[in-house]
Structure 1
Amino acid sequence: MDKIILIDGNSIANRAFYAMPPLTNSSGLHTNAVYGFTTMLLKLIEEEKPTHMLVAFDAGKITFRHAEYKEYKGGRAKTPPELSEQFPLMKQLLEGCGIAQFEMSGYEADDIIGTLTRLADEAGKQTLVVTGDKDMLQLASDHVTIALTRKGVTEIEAYNPAQIKEKYGLTPGQIVDLKGLMGDASDNIPGVPGVGEKTALKLLHQYQTVEEVIAHVHELKGKLKENIESHVQDAKMSKELATIFRDMPLEKEWDDMKFNGLQTETAVPVFRKLEFKSLLERLDLTAAQTDESREPESPLQLVVLDETNVGSLIERLAEVDVVHVESAGENPHHAVLIGIALRTSDTSYYVPFELLASEAGAPLREWFADENIPKRGYDLHKADIVLHWHGILLQGAAFDVHLAAYLLDPTESDQSLSALTSKYGLPSLQSDEAVFGKGAKFKVPDLEIVSEHLGRKAAAIQQVIAKQQEDLEKYEMHRLYYELELPLSKVLADMEKQGISVNAEGLQRLGQEFEAQIATLVQDIYELAGTEFNINSPKQLGEILFDKLGLPVVKKTKTGYSTDAEVLEKLEPYHEIVRKILHYRQIAKLQSTYVEGLLKEVRPETGKVHTYYRQTIAATGRLSSQFPNLQNIPIRLEEGRKIRQVFVPSEPGWHILAADYSQIELRVLAHISQDEKLKEAFVHNMDIHTKTAMDVFGVSESDVDSNMRRQAKAVNFGIVYGISDYGLSQNLNITRKEAAKFIEQYFAVFQGVRRFMDDIVKQARTDGFVRTLLERRRYLPEINASNYNLRSFAERTAMNTPIQGTAADIIKLAMVQMDERLRAEKLRSRMLLQVHDELVFEVPEEELETMSRIVPEVMAGALQLDVPLQADVSYGSNWYEAK
């Protein structure tokens, strides 16, 4: 029997966007709405097993309803670009999954679904409509069930006519009468003033329809009678506007909506582009796709070594071309070493770790440790750390396939070796997931399978290197790779192995301070509330704030009142309890994430935390820190800054020295854009935010107040990050109109910046990519897309990538040059951390003066710009004091 699912695309996308936390893929595309939408689709497919599916979309802003009432939907804010850019992605995803979609000019998704449910009714077909819009309840019938989304988008509440009767005491047809009387603010449908849902239901229980209410208005009294008499036409028009049109000239046949299950062949590339890894795993779609253009697989010459035949490799060590270290676990500081493969021109050698660590493996260990012997492999940075914790030194990295893959295409999410062999048309290589399994299913297979897999990986690395070397030359990335990224990889590994000492006792004391502070805040909150309740329960907190204390309701969810951070920040001026709750949440987060979290990460044998810097994650070229993330310690809050007190030198009498770039991205913007006003500010060492406020607001320096400077700062950084008027309005808590005006004023003043942004977009349209000053590329395939939203996202990325990417390149250059300088001057000082624009060192007393001079000198001279680079340096007995 046929089972049809019709989905209200715009409604579900909107709900998913606001219900899901902000998500972006590595190329910066917003994906939270698509992710929420996709999880809902998968759940429906799994639970309902439909035979037919269709997602209906609105085709534009103007519909036939605007001819009747120009103000229809007039109160709605413009869709944020962060959402609108996701609609094309949603449509690509549907196409990939084999799910029909439809839109028609002049009509809304409601009308498409209304017409199809009428046809389904007539044909006796069971249909489920999925929407977030209660108006759709009017379509319910014996054959049509309406599923309204609850708690975001994955939970739904189904309504048939009996359930509508039970909840509202109405028939489905009376839903339009309900809207006729009470109106709908979201669609700007007026209804009758003063008539809410309660009054409207009471009237309809008595008189059944809008027309009957009007006919019996003389039986009513007071203000209600007066309002209805004065708004008869509004009530009739509102009912008409709320009535879904069910007679569209559809050319769709049921066969056009046939759903034959998820089309994995076309779905996988879209899921990969969106980086929905967890969904790929859930659907078991992680295996690589076959490619007929690949070279045929050749037989593998493999030698599995033990103490009896290790000599056969030792004799050929001078010919070894590739080293591959296989480990299990994402964090290399705690990874399990599985095995090692070495490769000559024609043979792969499998080296069990036990052999490498044994007496017989001594010549191999010497070879690994010799920095004059070039090593080529895949993710040598990780290999270096894993071997370090197993007592083996790896030096001499000369080529890293993983690093080259990232540089050549930083927005490609799958840079696995099996994906790279597919990309270059080389013989297929089994994915690691296929050999080892993943997650709870991970298992190291027997020696025969492991040795062959690693042997093939070593051979694949050899073949991929040849292709990548050609590409690096072709795309002018040779210097960026060999002079920056590859040496930086070694610098990072050394920093990570060194680690940073943590005063565990100090951290525990801080934890006790936070616990005491939390206890005090809890008591204060209880006193202000007049009762005890679970502060962590949104439901109980909502009841206290809105029912008991009567604060204004900012936002509602399906389950009640929203009490998220955005809501609480808006409510802060209304009651002291809100400030206390916000403070409580901040301290509780510090306690759980940074006190308890950091304590778990301290390595017992070193007393240090050893972070892991990912060089191949961010499309802009920025480094990412993990296990633990030391770039994310909140420092806007004094208690957050205190966390830095526990990071101390590892040797007595030493100091922590920190140096950070001043306004590096804005200085890069001044250089790239050649804007005279920006350059002037930096050349004369002015406060850039004050200078921006002076120019944008047209006031003298003495007239710039703290609010003006704050707004100017938000606009400055907003411009760098390609912020929209929506994003700026959220940051400054102002209207989108005001935010747009700010941006307009900024560009009127800084015309060089405007010119640069126009020119870079034109250049990107021609080239298909943009570059940093050091030739780092970022590809923008959507820059010439016909779809406005995809195109405008690519344009914003084109504008900000040269700025952010160059800033990232500069601090990386500074790190490489600083490492060289420390060695050249034979200093004992050590570089420990990189946190965005800041470098952190531990320094002996006698080198403080030297380091205070050379660190800012090296950082300022890392790259020559038309405006001076500036690094501010400070030091203390811990990281907190050094800032």
Structure 2
Amino acid sequence: MSKLLLIDGHSIANRAFYGLPDLTNSQGEHTGAIFGFINMMLKFIDDEQPDNFAVAFDVHAPTFRHKMFEAYKGTRKPMVPELKEQIPRIQEMLRAMGVPVITMEGWEADDILGTLARIGEEKGFDVTIVSGDRDLLQLATEKVKISIPKTKKGGTEIENYFAADVKEAYGVTPKQFIDVKALQGDTSDNIPGVEGIGPKTAQTWIAQYGSIEECHAHVDEMKKGKVVQNFIDQWDIAVLSKELATINVNAPIELEEGCTKLENLFTEEAYLLCKRYELKKLLPRFEASTTTKVQDNRAETFKRIYDFTDVEDFFAELKKSGKDFVGASIMAGEDKRIKGAALSVGDSTVYVDCAGFITPDYLGHKLMEISKAGVKLCFWDLKNAMHLLYELMSDDEKQAILTNGGKAEIFPTAVDVAVAAYLLNPTKNAYTADDVASEMLGIIIPAQADLFGKTKLNAALEDDNLLEAVTTYACYNAYVAFAAFEKVIAQIKEEGMLDIYENIEMPLVYTLFDMELQGIAMDKEALAEYGNRLSVRINELEQSIYSQAGEEFNINSPKQLGVILFERMGIEGGKKTKTGYSTAADVLEELSATNPIICDILEYRQLAKLKSTYADGLAACVDSDGRIRSTFMQTVTATGRISSTEPNLQNIPIRMELGREIRKVFYPKDGCIFLDADYSQIELRVLAHMSGDENLIGAFKAGQDIHRSTASLVFNTPFDEVTDLQRRRAKAVNFGIVYGISAFGLAKDIGVGRKEAQEYIDNYFVAYPKMHEFLEGLKSDGKEKGYVTTMYGRRRPIPELSSSNFMTRQFGERVAMNSPIQGTAADIIKIAMVNVHDRLLKEGLKSKLLLQVHDELLVEALESERIQVEKLIAEEMENAAKLAVNLEIDMNAGKTWAEAH
């Protein structure tokens, strides 16, 4: 007989969190609940031996299935942050183990469990539900068992209930258990019940009369007293409590056939997550189940050298060896000083330790020497390696790099293995040697945490007791870079992405390195003045908010704000969640048109963020030369876009005037001017090209206002008669289509009904007939292949398309529609960046590329070179790709970034 095991995710996570000591890994992340959950789950699987399995979770911010529930279920205590941060990680682990994780917006986990149990029983399965919530006893039948873990004498016991067991324990049937709860209430689940009725009275009444309705019908027969009078007076509460306590077993769950079948849980992906979260006690179970991976013992062959003669001989032999490439890993402390470097040619891996005559300067120049001799160095982070060597250079050497770019001066033939690994799977959050060793080489090597525990790498490099561990770590990084490089490149070639790697991503490493060296000048006095103006306006808004509220309170506290707005001021339209009223931006924006205080609150929030993130935050980022240097991240976004951090200069809010003004504090150096070039509607142009839609292509070729043209077609209005409102709505549709917007989303964006929004979308596809076919084709291709591609062949895996969860699949479909468009636009801007940067160098110009912000490039141009540089930028950006429509840019000049934008 088949068996289905179902687990109540939040209930067991809660038990795991409070039942075990709090654990943290070396990154400071809480992991105790993850370990406890997986451990308990594996025990239940061992005990039950199911062949089908799933875990249900509440949505983090559910919309409850009945408005009247919110007054009660909305008052649950919020989850503590230490547990809340672990829920997504538990779900990540489950998915990596191939376990269906089922959530549904608007439905609680007990509804999902009840529905799955009903479906399973109807299919002939024996069903076991594991939960600490006794509400689920109402689901017990002869085939459905409720297993409730219970702590007893410091250990865990399991109470098992079939229907007969519920009757024996409580004197009522599982269905009648609902009525018992309705009478006695349940403070843990915020079911009010009837005042004065406890478990004994509730069980006695329901055993005698069968239901609360029958109790109410026979109330005249009951012995009069306060409890009975309360029942009469609070009948409406009893009815509500019954509704609250009743689990809905007919949730609209869509499950594909076989999706809950229990397969091998001990997957490679889950094993790597166990290592990532340092769940060491779980690793043996994974390692025992890993038949294709072997524990690598190569560390015994690693060698540490620090004697000057030995090091000299090593580099001499390396240059003479004729090796095409060498794995390399540089170790540097927090002060960016090199502590050592590992180099590997496979059968020989050596860690050169900076000690005695082996100085960081000596070692750095030796590495540059072998690169200039034609040996290709394979790094995990080439850009960072170049920065480390740059710090060792003389002023003359640094000036040469600033003038001529970093490639020829530092590592002319180096490669970046992490960038290559990113191309193969752009959805991961890290590309480490132990990950790649497992995926590409079929071996298991120690991760950083295995070698150093909770000690940070920077600290480990300073600890003589960890010298052997540092050597092992550095050497494995170098060895895997060497051993995996050709395999990674072969797979990239097989997947049609070699051109992207060689001609877009690798050249971009050097471009970004140069941009990070250049930085951008900032006026600290102007920034301080900007911060003062923000403070003045923030104080004005505070006083206005207090005045309208009639009292002072913490505006930054969602809980206090919710009470002020929706209880004390009585503003209608508040949405209550488990932690109180929602004061999220989208909720408040819907109410802002008729409530001036909410307009002030939204502005206050925006300005407070500007003050903390930019006015205060940027001041701490200015280097001694007055310039800010952002770090550009190349392996972070799944679509291929570049991101910016420390500080993030790509996320400056430009929709509000005070947000745009932050750009006024950035200025070019003396004798220079800023040139800012921004692609015009690049994603829509890419969409026109990739879809091949003649109407959209024709509108671009005719040089028409594309949003007015769309409005003319969608609203069946002559082009010259399109109103501004129609154009705004058509613009929302144009950009929404790129992001796979739904009728619900569009309706919310433009303030119309869902039906009207759907009509706009339908009319859009009538106006551009090939668009619908193209987007549907992307979804079907994504489902068939498991990924979609950009125009250049960059792949975006979409595992969500095969999910058993309807909401997850919908997300996957949106990704399938927008990733090829966004990714192609990202590829084009990268090509333009590289070409602009390289041509500035090639033509011997002193002008420099400084920033990339989405579809915009900022160049610091020498005023005497302005005309030449403007021509160069236009040529390279407009010819970065050959599309069915022209790529166009808007270019402006100015003495501040704000003027140039």
**Residue pair 2:183, 2:193 contacting (<8 A) in 1 also:** yes
CA drift at 1:450: 1.5
CA drift at 1:659: 0.6
Matches within 5 A, 1:669-748: 669-748=687-766
SS in 2 for 1:410: coil
CA drift at 1:439: 7.0
Is the alpha carbon distance of 1:738 and 1:336 closer, same or farther for their aligned partners in structure 2, counting shifts above 3 Å? farther
TM-score by length of 2: 0.72
SS in 2 for 1:424: helix
Is the alpha carbon distance of 1:804 and 1:203 closer, same or farther for their aligned partners in structure 2, counting shifts above 3 Å? farther
CA drift at 1:113: 4.6
State the AA in 2 paired with 1:105. I
State the AA in 2 paired with 1:305. Y
Cα deviation 1:668-690 (Å, max 9, x = unaligned): 01001110111011111222222
CA drift at 1:776: 1.0
Provide the residue aligned with 2:893 in structure 1: 875
Provide the residue aligned with 1:573 in structure 2: 593
Separation (CA, whole Å) in 2 of partners of 1:344 and 1:851: 44
Provide the residue aligned with 2:118 in structure 1: 104
**Residue pair 2:97, 2:270 contacting (<8 A) in 1 also:** no
Cα deviation 1:738-795 (Å, max 9, x = unaligned): 3333222211221111111233334344444322121112233454667655544433
Matches within 5 A, 1:785-824: 788-824=806-842
For the pair 1:347 / 2:377, whether they are aligned, the reply is no
SS in 2 for 1:516: helix
**Residue pair 1:111, 1:244 contacting (<8 A) in 2 also:** no
Cα deviation 1:31-82 (Å, max 9, x = unaligned): xxxx99x998888899999989998869xxxxxxxxxxxxx98999xxxxxx
Picking from 648, 664, 672, the partner of 1:629 is 648
Separation (CA, whole Å) in 2 of partners of 1:733 and 1:11: 39
Provide the residue aligned with 1:640 in structure 2: 659
**Residue pair 1:88, 1:790 contacting (<8 A) in 2 also:** no
For the pair 1:516 / 2:536, whether they are aligned, the reply is yes
Cα deviation 1:496-523 (Å, max 9, x = unaligned): 1221122111111111111111112222
Matches within 5 A, 1:184-199: none
Cα deviation 1:173-199 (Å, max 9, x = unaligned): 89xx9x999xxxxxxxxxxxxxxxxxx
Picking from 584, 588, 612, the partner of 2:608 is 588
Picking from 437, 440, 450, the partner of 1:434 is 450
Cα deviation 1:586-643 (Å, max 9, x = unaligned): 111110111111112222x232221111111112111111111111111111111111
For the pair 1:423 / 2:439, whether they are aligned, the reply is yes
Provide the residue aligned with 1:386 in structure 2: 388
TM-score by length of 1: 0.74
CA drift at 1:448: 2.6
Separation (CA, whole Å) in 1 of partners of 2:282 and 2:649: 33
Matches within 5 A, 1:470-869: 470-603=490-623, 605-649=624-668, 651-781=669-799, 783=801, 788-869=806-887
Cα deviation 1:672-716 (Å, max 9, x = unaligned): 111011101111122222211211111123433333222222221
Provide the residue aligned with 1:302 in structure 2: 303
**Residue pair 1:288, 1:418 contacting (<8 A) in 2 also:** no
Identical aligned residues as a percent: 34
Separation (CA, whole Å) in 2 of partners of 1:136 and 1:269: 42
Is the alpha carbon distance of 1:284 and 1:608 closer, same or farther for their aligned partners in structure 2, counting shifts above 3 Å? farther
**Residue pair 1:620, 1:808 contacting (<8 A) in 2 also:** yes
Picking from 420, 424, 427, the partner of 1:408 is 424
CA drift at 1:306: 3.1
State the AA in 2 paired with 1:620. T
Is the alpha carbon distance of 1:804 and 1:838 closer, same or farther for their aligned partners in structure 2, counting shifts above 3 Å? same
Is the alpha carbon distance of 1:114 and 1:758 closer, same or farther for their aligned partners in structure 2, counting shifts above 3 Å? closer
State the AA in 2 paired with 1:817. N
**Residue pair 1:337, 1:353 contacting (<8 A) in 2 also:** yes
Separation (CA, whole Å) in 2 of partners of 1:749 and 1:579: 37
Is the alpha carbon distance of 1:411 and 1:55 closer, same or farther for their aligned partners in structure 2, counting shifts above 3 Å? closer
**Residue pair 1:538, 1:562 contacting (<8 A) in 2 also:** yes
CA drift at 1:545: 2.6
**Residue pair 1:328, 1:338 contacting (<8 A) in 2 also:** yes
**Residue pair 1:88, 1:789 contacting (<8 A) in 2 also:** no
Separation (CA, whole Å) in 2 of partners of 1:533 and 1:571: 20
How many residues are aligned here?
753
Separation (CA, whole Å) in 2 of partners of 1:266 and 1:415: 21
Moved more, 561-570 or 239-248: 239-248
RMSD of the alignment, in Å?
Answer: 4.9
Separation (CA, whole Å) in 2 of partners of 1:388 and 1:289: 43
Moved more, 708-717 or 334-343: 334-343
Provide the residue aligned with 2:84 in structure 1: none
Provide the residue aligned with 1:26 in structure 2: none
CA drift at 1:361: 4.6
Provide the residue aligned with 2:257 in structure 1: none
**Residue pair 1:297, 1:427 contacting (<8 A) in 2 also:** no
SS in 2 for 1:621: coil
Provide the residue aligned with 1:443 in structure 2: 460
Is the alpha carbon distance of 1:166 and 1:383 closer, same or farther for their aligned partners in structure 2, counting shifts above 3 Å? farther
Separation (CA, whole Å) in 2 of partners of 1:519 and 1:829: 42
CA drift at 1:542: 3.3
**Residue pair 1:310, 1:360 contacting (<8 A) in 2 also:** no
Separation (CA, whole Å) in 2 of partners of 1:858 and 1:520: 47
CA drift at 1:552: 1.4
Separation (CA, whole Å) in 2 of partners of 1:780 and 1:559: 33
Moved more, 798-807 or 654-663: 798-807
**Residue pair 2:845, 2:865 contacting (<8 A) in 1 also:** yes
Is the alpha carbon distance of 1:755 and 1:308 closer, same or farther for their aligned partners in structure 2, counting shifts above 3 Å? same
Which residues of structure 2 form unaligned runs of 5+?
14-28, 58-64, 70-87, 103-111, 123-128, 130-134, 141-145, 147-160, 214-224, 251-262, 395-408
Cα deviation 1:842-868 (Å, max 9, x = unaligned): 111111122222212210100111100
State the AA in 1 paired with 2:540. T
**Residue pair 2:266, 2:286 contacting (<8 A) in 1 also:** no
SS in 2 for 1:325: strand
SS in 2 for 1:316: helix
Is the alpha carbon distance of 1:760 and 1:86 closer, same or farther for their aligned partners in structure 2, counting shifts above 3 Å? farther
Provide the residue aligned with 2:216 in structure 1: none
Is the alpha carbon distance of 1:528 and 1:242 closer, same or farther for their aligned partners in structure 2, counting shifts above 3 Å? closer
**Residue pair 2:360, 2:392 contacting (<8 A) in 1 also:** no
Cα deviation 1:129-167 (Å, max 9, x = unaligned): 9xxxxx97954899x97743xxxxxxxx7x798998599
For the pair 1:322 / 2:331, whether they are aligned, the reply is no
Which residues of structure 1 form unaligned runs of 5+?
14-34, 59-71, 77-84, 130-134, 149-156, 182-201, 214-227, 229-234, 249-262
Separation (CA, whole Å) in 2 of partners of 1:834 and 1:315: 41
Separation (CA, whole Å) in 2 of partners of 1:371 and 1:761: 49
CA drift at 1:362: 7.7
**Residue pair 1:342, 1:349 contacting (<8 A) in 2 also:** yes
Provide the residue aligned with 2:378 in structure 1: 376
State the AA in 1 paired with 2:415. F
SS in 2 for 1:629: coil
